Amino acid sequence: MTAAASLPTSTSSPTSTMSRALRTSLAEVFDRTRAEDRAALIGYLPAGFPDRATSIRLMQAMVAAGVDIVEVGLPYSDPLMDGPVIAAAAEAALADGTTTDDVLAVVDAVAETGAATLVMSYWNPIERYDLARFADGLAAAGGCGVITPDLTPEEASAWRLITDEQGLDRIFLVAPSSTPERIATVVESCSGFVYAASVMGVTGARDSIAGDAESLVARVRATTDLPVCVGLGVSTGEQAGQIAGYADGVIVGSAFIKVIQAATSPEEAIEGVTALARELADGVRRRSR
């Protein structure tokens, strides 16, 4: 699609109009979805794609259409775990000048919707920005946590202290190849929820969801009471409903980005994202356990 004119990038962390006391937490979301006997719907988009102003509108549209938790992606130049769809979106955001400060400003705007708002980021950008500065800026913006796919618990001691100080949740990943011992290590370092990658390999929408996902969720649940959310590969309401039958949350990213890439204008992109979010939200509500 043709990007709208970019907003100037910010030079400092946002000053949020939302107090930390009013920030929606992951615990609140999962309490609500359990009370409604359904899984949470989690949507991912990179900040700054296709530009900062439009990325905010797209995420706000996702929330209005039924997304419970938003993952705001921090674009990175070397996204080793991302498939071509997300990598292309991140590249476009970086080419448009998106900075870490811009990411925090996007979080601020999305958190104002009342949705629990996370950042999904590789470790290098957070480390370069400064751990304490990033955590403080995220908390001030109304964010409630961070997913760090390439950070291992063994290397996260400083991060654990800083996120505890700011009341931010830490989400680490487990995979079908994770041993019981590895799952126990990851779970011990997590808060908020555990991210269960349903397939081995890079991110991307798929025609079917690997059968290993359900058994992985069961193995994680044997070690923790934390919610377990499944990502990597979900693209339809039917798939979302399938996963919602055994997981606490369904994570969708590449499917949203494909809709935006196929659009010819920001308005068409918003319409497409809204339609997909409604389909997915309907899927997680239709499922039966």
pLDDT digit string, tens, across residues 131-173: 999 999 999 999 999 999 999 999 999 999 999 999 999 999 9
Q: Which of 51, 68, 82, 248 is catalytic?
A: 82
| pLDDT of amino acid 282 | 97
* Residue pair 234/42 in contact by the 8 Å Cβ criterion: no
pLDDT at 96 over 90: yes
Average pLDDT over residues 87-111: 96
Q: Which of 71, 96, 169, 214 is catalytic?
A: 71
The two three-digit tokens of residue 189, written as one number: 């370092």
Domain extents in the chain? 20-286
Q: Tell me whether residue 82 is one of the annotated catalytic residues.
A: yes
CA distance 46 to 245: 28
Please, how many CA atoms are within 13 Å of residue 116, restricted to the half-sphere of its CB?
Answer: 24
Q: Report pLDDT digits (tens) over 6-40.
A: 333 333 444 444 445 568 999 999 999 999 999 99
CA distance 78 to 12: 24
Strand partners, 70: 43, 117
CA distance 103 to 119: 8
Average pLDDT over residues 111-122: 97
* CATH-assigned architecture of domain 20-286: Alpha-Beta Barrel (3.20)
DSSP label of 166: H
* Residue pair 76/90 in contact by the 8 Å Cβ criterion: yes
Q: Report pLDDT digits (tens) over 264-286.
A: 999 999 999 999 999 999 999 98
Please, how many CA atoms are within 13 Å of residue 213, restricted to the half-sphere of its CB?
Answer: 28
Strand partners, 229: 195, 249
pLDDT at 84 over 60: yes
CA distance 59 to 46: 10
